[in-house]
Structure 1
């Protein structure tokens, strides 16, 4: 990157908000990933104890299968790969599982960064994660790794790392959000980090919510009410409540957030939510709508598929989605080149006991 680009990034870092700016922003938190402004009430929901161990495993397994199926739906089939091909949207979930097995729920951001350096090849990262990795190599520590010359800090990277914290905290969106924020803090700030909180909470809520609408309502309580992300999601929920057709809702998202990069988290979070709302709990419809909506297709369909898979359960996901996976996941994570998806679900389920 040339000197002009560095100077531009430094100018952006020192920029201030416009007078009268209406939204809650990262600067309002003092850099604390768990400050979200005014406390918000979370709607009541069923507790995971309503499920037998076998039923809870089926939901966890459904999340893993749904994420894998959604991730590959928009990718051409690689005839040389048996099962689910490697993708960063899956690498990070596997890394998160390893982190929880190794460090437990008391992990700190330094544990995440150490795991990246140990098990994640640099050239298998992108955008905010690659900048954070570069900053780690240059001697920075979290949270400075997220802020130093990182123009991608509100892109979708932390969101796609969040599902594992929902899988391991079924029915507890607040706890899932807290863990996801710790992970996110090494590479993201503001709406990028809040989107990770939201995604983890959404996955956790799916275990106990009656429908996607309830899960989305619970998830929205873990992000600042007046953040740009929360406002965008609320507008989308209003569109659904008022009966707007899916295609018009998606057109509205693309129009309202066209000024952002296609990988910015706000528009993509809205496309995930749209797939869940208009998919109405049907696995196939949810994944297909999310994939058709565009922008970061494989990331969005992976998250939507994960949540739809939890609602559906592994046993009820149509075979057309699971058979091509052949219970096999490829990854770039050191030590896990090829893994059985069912084994990942078993290891995740074991963390719940």
Structure 2
């Protein structure tokens, strides 16, 4: 249900907000710890509680600790100055996890394929996987009740190492979690989130299967089987099925914290992710005060990292510390955007206009979905220059593709903006290597050219472009990246290094014996 309505403005009580944010992080820790032992297994499980001897500590979980890097980026730059390029730089600085899309995104950025290209290129196996939607909570906590405001940040986050359904999955979870601060009906939350992603994407299709099976009165195992069957062509560890498993937990859990996270985990596959996100949603809905103590006491209040370099990151010591730092970021954002839901010492109140936006979906989310993963923006002192690839930066000699070039964000009228490409021998551009655009304050101008690749001197070729404004004597230079087709291998290895794994297992067994755990 919605809270008391106040016409024209929405407010959230400070203590209620803090309880929900702390509940979010607590639920994240609990669900991730519950699901950790089953991660990657394709069975149906029957867990009802933790299966580990935890001794008061949570399992390490990249789902949570990746968001600590985003927290640092927000604290350093301010929320409204964070974009995909800044998040990419913080990724390179602090994120150590080499797995799957994490490593591919880092590899791409090192080679100049900055976000969103870093999530699109060389990433066919993992671009629709789970690494993005599992880290959506920080954006939801900063935008309580504002699923449309959260969408651009979810896009910027996800595109660092994902494209397509990998991005839609994070927009879905971020929107659902943001709405959960003001709406408690699970069915309505799912519809609110579905309204923010393409109706024909695979995430929406899998979620709809879960919703339809629940409405038909079938059990969760039947729903799980239908989701697995429908996603068989995608393989395991992919976002559509795992987001749907999280939805299965939310629906069949019927608001009960333990039953919800256990149902999500019992579906199998990426179980730490499904359990953690399901736990975060329930934590927002119930607040920390509504999470049963038997789930909190075994893991305590700590944060255990696994995928980040803690040096200079300023990792919060406890979930309470993390909550307080997020709240400070929310308060600072409120100064910049007075339209956001405000914190108050009075009662929580949601006005009718916000309720309407929740149900209908907003223009902001639609503009976000119009963004392309095949674009690259370059900030300039006087605006931005964007290159949008018709296909991708990956080309072979003799291949042609169109490039859409856009200059936007310029504060000046009636200036001539010139881009001149320094093409290597054998590379050609039609109608020519120089373009001129007239500037208009508050508007953008685009032009389309066709580039034909010549020979590559290396795996990567960086085409220099000289950019000039008519009233500036100095040029700006950018380098537009291209990668030779077939020169990069990024898929899952054909075979593991078995001797290395055997040695690792022997060391683990020796430690277990020495510590008396065998």
Bin the TM-score by the shorter chain: 0.7 to 0.9
CA gap of 1:134–1:250, structure 2 versus 1, over 3 A, is: same
Unaligned runs of 5+ in 1: 1-43
Q: Given that residues 272 and 300 in structure 1 are in contact (C-alpha distance below 8 angstroms), is that contact kept between their aligned partners in structure 2? A: yes
TM-score of the superposed pair, with normalisation by structure 1:
0.82
**Shift in Å, 1:188:** 1.1
| Aligned match for 2:244, one of 270, 276, 285 | 270
Name the SS for the 1:63 alignment partner.
helix
Further displaced range: 185-194 or 229-238: 229-238
**Shift in Å, 1:167:** 1.2
Structure-2 separation of matches of 1:336 and 1:176: 25
1:228-260 CA-partner distances (Å, limit 9, x unpaired): 222222232121112111121112112221222
Residue matched to 1:31: none
Structure-2 separation of matches of 1:179 and 1:337: 22
Q: Given that residues 91 and 333 in structure 1 are in contact (C-alpha distance below 8 angstroms), is that contact kept between their aligned partners in structure 2? A: no
**Superposition misfits of 4+ residues, deviation over 4 angstroms:** 44-50, 76-82
Structure-2 separation of matches of 1:175 and 1:189: 20
Residue matched to 2:260: 286
Residue matched to 1:299: 273
TM-score of the superposed pair, with normalisation by structure 2:
0.57
**Shift in Å, 1:125:** 3.4
| Aligned match for 2:114, one of 141, 146, 151 | 141
Are 2:166 and 1:158 aligned?
no
Are 2:89 and 1:125 aligned?
no
Q: Given that residues 263 and 296 in structure 1 are in contact (C-alpha distance below 8 angstroms), is that contact kept between their aligned partners in structure 2? A: yes
Unaligned runs of 5+ in 2: 38-50, 332-518
Residue matched to 2:26: 65
Could you say what the CA RMSD is over the residues aligned between the two structures, in angstroms?
2.1
Higher strand share: 2
Residue matched to 2:205: 231
1:69-112 CA-partner distances (Å, limit 9, x unpaired): 00000335776975223221111122222222222133111100
Q: Given that residues 104 and 123 in structure 2 are in contact (C-alpha distance below 8 angstroms), is that contact kept between their aligned partners in structure 1? A: yes
Q: Given that residues 88 and 125 in structure 1 are in contact (C-alpha distance below 8 angstroms), is that contact kept between their aligned partners in structure 2? A: no
Higher helix share: 1
Larger radius of gyration: 2
CA gap of 1:240–1:78, structure 2 versus 1, over 3 A, is: closer
Give matches, 1:89-104, under 5 Å: 89-103=63-77, 104=79
Residue matched to 1:348: 326
Q: Given that residues 142 and 185 in structure 1 are in contact (C-alpha distance below 8 angstroms), is that contact kept between their aligned partners in structure 2? A: yes
Name the SS for the 2:303 alignment partner.
strand
Structure-2 separation of matches of 1:247 and 1:140: 42
Give matches, 1:1-353, under 5 Å: 49=10, 51-75=12-36, 83-103=57-77, 104-121=79-96, 124-151=97-124, 152-331=126-305, 332-334=308-310, 335-336=313-314, 339-353=317-331
Aligned length: 308
CA gap of 1:79–1:278, structure 2 versus 1, over 3 A, is: closer
Residue matched to 2:384: none
